[in-house]
Amino acid sequence: MQAEIEALVAAGPSADREAVRALFAQLRGALSSGAVRAAEPDPSSPIGWRVNTWVKQGILLGFRFGETVDASMDHGRWPFYDKDTLPLKKLSVSAGVRIVPGGSSVRDGAHIGPGVICMPPMFVNIGAWIGEQSLIDSHALVGSCAQVGARVHVSAGAQIGGVIEPVGALPVIVEDDALVGGNTGIYEGAIIKTRAVVGAGTVLTGSTPVYDLVRGEIIKPTADRPLIIPEGAVVVPGARAVTAGKGPEWGLSLATPVIVKYRDSRTDTRTELEAWIR
């Protein structure tokens, strides 16, 4: 599949339309089943992950060679218009996934592991991966190609940013057993390592410095290394004084994430409370 996608990408606008559409349907099926991923763990990589560029190239082909059609529901009384190559994901009871009634959408080509709970309304875009037993809460977004591990709680209103272009860009990655608090935003390829806790209202981007009070260091992304929140870190919103210009006179401060602790038994007890809803 990789070689076929790369050949069609190289052909550009002259690529055979029907061949592209057929191959894209095959790619959607592989992404949905989990046989193919937009990014995957790679122990040989310094950051532990690698991007499968050809997968994102294939997704872009699906957008470019699709036609916008009427995708309305309820006999047209609830109007929607989308590419005909991007249908909604079809699941059965045998998948072991709970999608609670109330307006959620999952695009085909997203992998939803067994035991996942989707609370309405939420949205999962194509290329995303959600591991088993995770919870995607109300008003949460899992963007295109984002990778969310097993037993992750993505709380209400959280935004897990997606990325298709540039095709080599790392998507947001949230590893196993992490907790993403309500109204949190994680964007631009940030990596949240195993068992980390991102407190409610925290915003993490590809250019965000994070102040680790426990270890006495500042975690900064670089040109070749994304922002990585360490394993078990507990990150909360903070502020730092503006020392330049009129900052001191006006008493200004900038929002900044702060690591205040690393997970212990008390933190684990609190994050395990969600088990009661399953």
List the domain boundaries for the chain: 2-64
Highest mean pLDDT among 115-119, 203-207, 260-264: 115-119
Q: What is the pLDDT of residues 41-75, one digit of tens each?
A: 999 999 999 999 999 999 999 999 999 999 998 88
On the question of pLDDT at 271 being above 70, the answer is no
Q: Which CATH class is domain 2-64?
A: mainly alpha
Q: What is the pLDDT of residues 205-242, one digit of tens each?
A: 988 899 999 999 999 999 889 999 999 999 999 999 99
What confidence score (pLDDT) does residue 207 get? 85
What confidence score (pLDDT) does residue 11 get? 95
What's the rounded Cα separation, in Å, for the pair 124 and 190?
18
| Rounded average pLDDT over 115-136 | 97
Instruction: Give the confidence band of 275 by pLDDT, cuts at 50, 70, 90.
Output: low
What confidence score (pLDDT) does residue 152 get? 97
Q: What is the pLDDT of residues 2-43, one digit of tens each?
A: 999 999 999 999 999 999 999 999 999 999 999 999 999 999
What confidence score (pLDDT) does residue 278 get? 54
Any idea what DSSP says for residue 226? -
On the question of pLDDT at 247 being above 80, the answer is yes
Q: Please name the residues in contact with 151: beta carbons below 8 A apart, sequence gap of 6 or more.
A: 131, 132, 133, 134, 176, 177
Percentage of residues in the chain with pLDDT exceeding 70?
A: 96
Pull the structure tokens for residue 247.
């900052």
What confidence score (pLDDT) does residue 95 get? 95
Q: What is the chain's mean pLDDT, rounded? A: 93
On the question of pLDDT at 273 being above 90, the answer is no
Q: What is the pLDDT of residues 151-180, one digit of tens each?
A: 999 999 999 999 988 888 999 999 999 999
On the question of pLDDT at 269 being above 80, the answer is no
3-state helix, strand, coil in the chain (%, to 5): 20, 30, 50
Q: Cβ(41)–Cβ(48) under 8 Å?
A: yes
What is the secondary structure of 136-178 as a DSSP string? E-TT-EE-TT-EE-TT-EE-TT-EE----SSTTSPPPEE-TT-
| Rounded average pLDDT over 247-264 | 94
What's the rounded Cα separation, in Å, for the pair 37 and 129?
7
Model confidence, pTM? 0.92
On the question of pLDDT at 265 being above 90, the answer is no
